[in-house]
Chain A
Amino acid sequence: MSLNRRDFLKLMGGTAAAFAFPSVIVQGCKRALEKASQRLPVIWIQGQSCSGCSVSLLNKIDPGIASVVTEYVSLDFHQTVMAGTGDVAVSVIEEAVEKKRKDFILVVEGSIPTKSDEYCTIGEVRGRRVGVREWVEKLGANAKAIVSVGSCAAFGGIPAALPRDGSGNPTGAISTAQLLKGKPVVNISGCPPHPDWMVGTLLYVLLNKGELPKLDEYNRPLLYYGKTVHEQCERLPDYKHNHFAKHWGDEGCLYNLGCLGMDSGCDIPKRKWVGTFNSCTNCGGGCIGCTEDVFPDYGNRGIFQHLNASREELNKLEHRETIETILKLRDGGVING
């Protein structure tokens, strides 16, 4: 086991971590992790998910996922990777409930259906199919900490979105926090979240004996969600110089193509995906606001209709000189990508 200061800073959020984490924590981290018995047990439950958060977790670099799983955490239950199948797999969470284990972090990926347990079940216990709702309630009752990964678990996400015909959500999908009312839940939102955000948060909890990192009003770690995409965007100079893209694939600020970077707390333009040069904004598509609680509905606006912003909203923009440019582009007809 070795976790030097450089590794730790990387893990916790690049250079920004130097400000957010005093060196005493960094020092303490190595000591805390030296004993294998200190590895943080994680029970990872998937509800109405697409497994994208888990796939994103596998993209962890420095340290890689193999070392995360063997050195930092003990991945006690995770349907997508665990060797056990059927009863052998379910016995792990069944025991955790029956023995009232309190030593683990409960990670929830995906939303939870409430209209019927039949909409999502995991395993059979004594002849009865058990709904994911029941597992999360029972495991959540004793967990050392509860972490929602991904926007479905954090806020409901797409499974909780509303059909526009007013018929209500098909499955009554809700977030972990909505299900476990009154329990502290850390939200690692994003569709998917960056692996550094997930592993960094788990490590923080590990190092601080169950204590949670400093959170914003949506219970997301400030370290990762405290600044907007716009503030950290590769294309910010374009915005400041009134240089706007008209089509996907153009150079320039992507605001007029529906980029939601101004509304979204997320550090991807600085952190990048999978250790490459690329990000949502750099590739020319733009931010779709997936870290926010209103994703993907944004009221009735949807994702790619940013030009519906009111003049009042535009007037709040940081650089007033751009407002007229935006309105002029609008008058020239809606840009369809």
Chain B
Amino acid sequence: MAKILIDPITRIEGHLSIEIDVQNGKVVDASCIGDMYRGFERIFVGRNPLDANQLTQRICGVCPISHGIASSKCLESAFGIKPNKNGRILRNLMIGANYLHSHLIHFYHLAALDYVDITALLKYNGGDSKINNLKEWAKNELDVKKNRIDAITAVAPFLPRYEGKDFYIKDLDTNISAIAGYVKALEMRMKAHKMVAAVGGRTPHAISLVAGGVSQVPNRAMIREYKKNLKEVEKFINETYIEHVKAVAGAFKNYFKIGTFTNFLSYGLMDQDTENKQFFLQRGVAYGTKLDSFDPGRITEQVRFARYSSGSNLHPFKGQTQGAPGKPGAYSWVKAPRYNGKPMEVGPLARVVISYLSDNKSVKAEVDGLLKVFNADISAVFSVLGRHAARAIEAKLIAAQLWEWLDELDVNGQPRNYFTIPDTGEGMGLAEAPRGALGHWIVMKDKKIANYQAVVPTTWNCSPRGDDGVKGPVEQALIGTPISDPKNPIEAARVVRSFDPCLACAVHVVEGDREIGTFRVC
């Protein structure tokens, strides 16, 4: 048995490593290791609750809008108010645009280099000047840096990489098209961020997200900037992104059977009412193709294998978390959240599966359409490629929906409801980040934060084993993955990256042994 440590897993957000045991060319055991800890929520205690809106966005620079919205909802529930209609829609416009940025960056800039052969540039003989510039650059890098002290960095950041037979797409045209897509997508995700900034004032870390709605008035300048960029980004998604996902899927069909996991959880993506009950993508729980309703009371967090010395299997409302570096047997800074005692996958695949099973007509049409292309049945979605396809489907449907929300805005109208901060209060805010289910909880005393806690997507996906020894979703998905060369375990990296891990989020957890209180369920 070969034990392989892949440290660091790059092209994800944050610090993660994976340890796998390989037997007869297949993964038989896996551990997911969170390598960074900041003690974030403890720092929030004693501050003005309004600071949470800004501070929590710094949990993650890739999906700060999700944290900003979860914390706004959390404060609203503690203050006893709701956002107005404009506020709700403006938030959807902001988070929707951030999804487009996040999904594009994930496919092209984080995941694609596991499939696309960047060295195909050197074989290019066509007439595209941009591609030829890149080719010249790559050739020049190899020439100039040869024998130099920094030879290893020739064509950085695209080389060095895992090298092996059949690791990358062979077809020259597909590679060149995907490389052009990589470059174009850099511009497109930036344009998606123009859309976020138009509503948010700034991105990453939007300024305009406040309790009651947002501070940006939906004026003509905002709407014009937003529409101009949405048009371009949507075109790229529909004409290029979707096609590249299909091309990768066509070249790596075996990944419809690799990386399988079948428990799913979603809090519901983007509010269609101000009561947090109707969603653009549905709230729920699914075990394979069996749908169940969601009950926040069934969430617990376990720490037997995480570096914390405090009580285990507690509801996050009552979480006790005491950091314990060097705890025997523990291997990660990520805790192990469980729903109904089970590990759950969260993220695009969870949202798409739950919406599909909830009879969401547009999701059904997209999923069935893609399955037909690949002549596959629904079980194919529980896979590495299923995750990439779910992301692409989400991007397409969100882009189309954003136009409808723009039309529903009360132009130049109030962007929010007002509030008064009560002396005491408790609140919960549930949202969906691009990477999955995100919950914030607050307890206020004397107009200050007495406790604040967030349970975030990657904590679910990259969780270590639970108290019962059952592995987390990424760990289970790795089991059975074929590894052709233990020195170049690209197959394992493909499985991990398909979850789009975000480790800054996962390991911000509370330290300290206070009870966080009991909460209303929205």
Does any Cβ of A come within 8 Å of B483's Cβ? no
Flag if A119 contacts B201 (CB, 8 Å). Answer: no
CB <8 Å contact, B416 and A249: yes
B186 CB to closest chain A CB (Å) equals 5
Q: Is the interface of A mostly helix, strand, loop or mixed?
A: loop
Q: Which residues of B contact A302 (CB under 8 A)?
A: 47-48, 51
Instruction: Give 1 or 0 for each of A65-90: 1 = CB within 8 Å of chain B CB.
Output: 11001110011111111111111111
Q: Does B132 contact A (CB under 8 A)?
A: no
Tell me if A65 and B153 are in contact (CB < 8 A).
no
**A54 in the interface, Cβ–Cβ < 8 Å?**
yes
Question: Residue on A with the closest CB to B12?
Answer: A80
Q: Are A119 and B325 in contact (CB under 8 A)?
A: yes
Asked if B323 is an interface residue, CB under 8 A from chain A, the answer is: yes
Q: Is the CB of B5 within 8 A of A121?
A: no
Interface residues of B in 149-164 (CB under 8 A from A): 149-150, 152-153, 156-162
Q: Which residues in A have their C-beta under 8 angstroms from that of B488?
A: 88
Contact A274 B54 (CB under 8 A): no
**Stretch from A8-16, A176-184, A279-287 that touches the partner:** A279-287
Q: How far is the CA of A113 from the CA of B15 in the complex (A)?
A: 14
**Contact call A51/B61, Cβ cutoff below 8 A:** yes
Which chain A residues border B201 with CB–CB below 8 Å? 273, 278-285
Give 1 or 0 for each of A243-274: 1 = CB within 8 Å of chain B CB. Answer: 00001110000000010000000001000011
- With A55-B61, A88-B161 already in contact, the answer to whether A95 and B194 are too (CB < 8 A) is no
Q: Which residues of A contact B487 (CB under 8 A)?
A: 87
Q: List 5 A-B contacts (CB under 8 A).
A: A37-B144, A50-B504, A58-B189, A249-B215, A280-B202
- Contacts A80-B11, A92-B160 hold; do A337 and B489 have CB atoms under 8 A apart? no
Chain A residues bordering chain B, tally (CB within 8 A): 100
Q: A158-B40, A276-B198 are in contact. Are A121 and B13 (CB under 8 A)?
A: no
Chain B positions within 8 Å of A284 at CB level: 201, 208, 215-217, 415
Contact string against B for A residues 53-64, beta-carbon threshold 8 Å, 1 for contact and 0 otherwise = 111101101001
Residues on the B chain within 8 Å of A99, using CB: 149
CA distance A48 to B36 in the complex (A): 7
**Does A78 lie within 8 Å of B15, measured CB to CB?**
no
Q: Which of B39, B157, B160, B194 touches A171 (beta carbons < 8 Å)? A: B39
* Chain B, interface residues (CB within 8 Å), range: 35 or more
B436 to chain A, nearest CB (A): 17
| CB-nearest residue of chain A to B219 | A277
A211 at the interface (CB under 8 A from B): no
Render B8-44 as a binary contact track against A, CB cut-off 8 A, 1 for contact.
Answer: 1111111101000000000000000001111110110
Q: How far is the CB of B83 from chain A (nearest CB, A)?
A: 12
Residues in A with CB closer than 8 Å to B14 are 46, 51
Beyond the given pairs A58-B186, A274-B194, 5 more chain A to chain B contacts, judged by CB atoms under 8 angstroms and listed by A's residue number, are A64-B187, A74-B153, A77-B156, A169-B43, A278-B200
Which chain A residue has the least Cβ–Cβ distance from B326?
Answer: A118
Q: Which residues of B lie under 8 Å from residue A82 when comparing CB positions?
A: 10-11, 156-158
**B246 CB–A CB distance under 8 Å:** no
Q: Are A171 and B38 in contact (CB under 8 A)?
A: yes
User: Contact at A165–B46, with CB atoms within 8 Å?
Assistant: yes
